[in-house]
Amino acid sequence: MDKTTFQIDTYIGTTESFHFARKRLDPRFPELAHDHDCFEVFLIESGRTSHWINGTTQTLEPGQLVFIRPHDVHAFSADRTLGCEISNVMFRQETAAHLAARYADTIERRFFDARTPLPEMHTLAPARFARAINVSKQLQTAHRSLARIEEYLLVLTNRVANVTTGISDSTPKWFAEACSAAQSKEVFQKGVAGFISAAGRSHEHVCRTCKTVTGLTPSDYINQIRIEFAAHLLRSDEKPINDIVEDCGFDNTSYFYRLFRQQYGTTPRQYRLKNLRDPFKSDDIRTG
């Protein structure tokens, strides 16, 4: 398919840092595909679309979030019955470069900085999809400032898109969605039962897929998430450890302690003593 190049300066003024659009896609592919001199993020909000991207055709549905790079060549064709509505954000290359350099531990070679033939795509579980819709609505009416686009992109890369270790583009969609859902307290508190419910498949099927994709059993996978959540609380909150055990969904304290030591090599109390710092006491400030 022949292409044209979209220039961001035709969409925004010199003092603006991004362009936002929410639109219904045409049911026919355009005569020309396009690439950009900028970056783009789009979210499928409703309906379905065929997405021609770098010579490959994808079918995209609600909850799919795609990070488009300047060299990506693409075009859309909405489903003739369902239609398709998307939200689309374009931002300057220097913004992407700054964030990738400043937050390399999170963004480098990920999201809009992916070094792969196809752009990175995330299938959002319901809670993350709702969050993505909400932050997009906030951006739609925001001042087109650099601070707002950077805030939006950091929310996407830290609180919306799934960064679960071991989840790749070849992972079944239903399993990727279950892994994304498992990051929420409402799911991991219920343990394996919550994970199986989020997956919507039989226990045996989830076990086989989980082992294939992550190398872990569903129990080990969900317990890693719960113990990591506990560690976050231990280094940032003074609530009693027994309350943290309950927050994580464990009803057996000894089991929690055993899992915590396996994952962090120490007891929860020792971990807290080493990592929790009182911001109002100078003798707790690390030196050296």
Q: What is the mean pLDDT of the chain?
A: 90
User: 203-214 vs 191-199: helix axis angle to the nearest 10?
Assistant: 90
Same domain, yes or no: 12 and 128:
yes
The share of the chain scoring above pLDDT 90, in percent, equals 73
pLDDT digits (tens, 9 = 90+) for 250-276: 999 999 999 999 999 999 999 999 888
For range 13-42, the mean pLDDT: 95
Q: Does 285 score more than 60 pLDDT? A: no
Nearest to 183 by CA among 253, 131, 118, 111: 131
Domain limit, last residue, from 163, 181, 212? 163
Per the CB < 8 A criterion, the answer to whether 224 and 265 are in contact is: no
Tell me the pLDDT band of 287, cut-offs 50, 70 and 90. Answer: very low
The DSSP call for residue 266 is S
Beta strand extents in the chain (DSSP E only):
3-6, 18-24, 33-36, 39-47, 49-53, 56-60, 64-68, 74-78, 84-91, 121-123
Domain limit, last residue, from 142, 163, 184? 163
Question: Would residue 196 count as lying in a domain?
Answer: yes
pLDDT digits (tens, 9 = 90+) for 102-135: 999 888 888 999 888 999 988 887 778 888 999 9
pLDDT digits (tens, 9 = 90+) for 142-173: 999 999 999 999 999 988 886 555 566 567 87
Same domain, yes or no: 12 and 124:
yes
Question: Would residue 178 count as lying in a domain?
Answer: no
Instruction: Residue 213: give the domain boundaries.
Output: 192-284
Question: Would residue 198 count as lying in a domain?
Answer: yes
Sheet holding 18-24, edge to edge: 18-24, 84-91, 39-47, 64-68, 121-123
User: Model pTM?
Assistant: 0.70
Same domain, yes or no: 154 and 11:
yes
Domains in the chain: how many in total? 2
Question: Would residue 180 count as lying in a domain?
Answer: no
Same domain, yes or no: 119 and 241:
no
CATH of the domain at 90: 2.60.120.810
Beta strand 49-53 with 56-60 is antiparallel
Question: Would residue 176 count as lying in a domain?
Answer: no
* Confidence (pLDDT) at 151: 96
Same domain, yes or no: 223 and 155:
no
Residues contacting 133, CB < 8 A, separation 6+: 43, 45, 87
pLDDT digits (tens, 9 = 90+) for 51-97: 999 999 999 999 999 999 999 999 999 999 999 999 999 999 999 99
Question: Would residue 170 count as lying in a domain?
Answer: no
Same domain, yes or no: 17 and 158:
yes
Question: Would residue 175 count as lying in a domain?
Answer: no
Lowest-confidence range among 40-44, 77-81, 179-183, 255-259?
179-183
Does 163 or 45 have the greater pLDDT score? 45
Nearest to 224 by CA among 192, 193, 198, 271: 192
Tell me the pLDDT band of 227, cut-offs 50, 70 and 90. Answer: very high
CATH of the domain at 243: 1.10.10.60
Same domain, yes or no: 153 and 221:
no
Beta strand 74-78 with 49-53 is antiparallel
What letters, b where the CB count within 10 A reaches 16 and e where it falls short, cover 139-156?
beeeebebebbbebbebb
Same domain, yes or no: 48 and 145:
yes
Same domain, yes or no: 116 and 12:
yes
Question: Would residue 31 count as lying in a domain?
Answer: yes
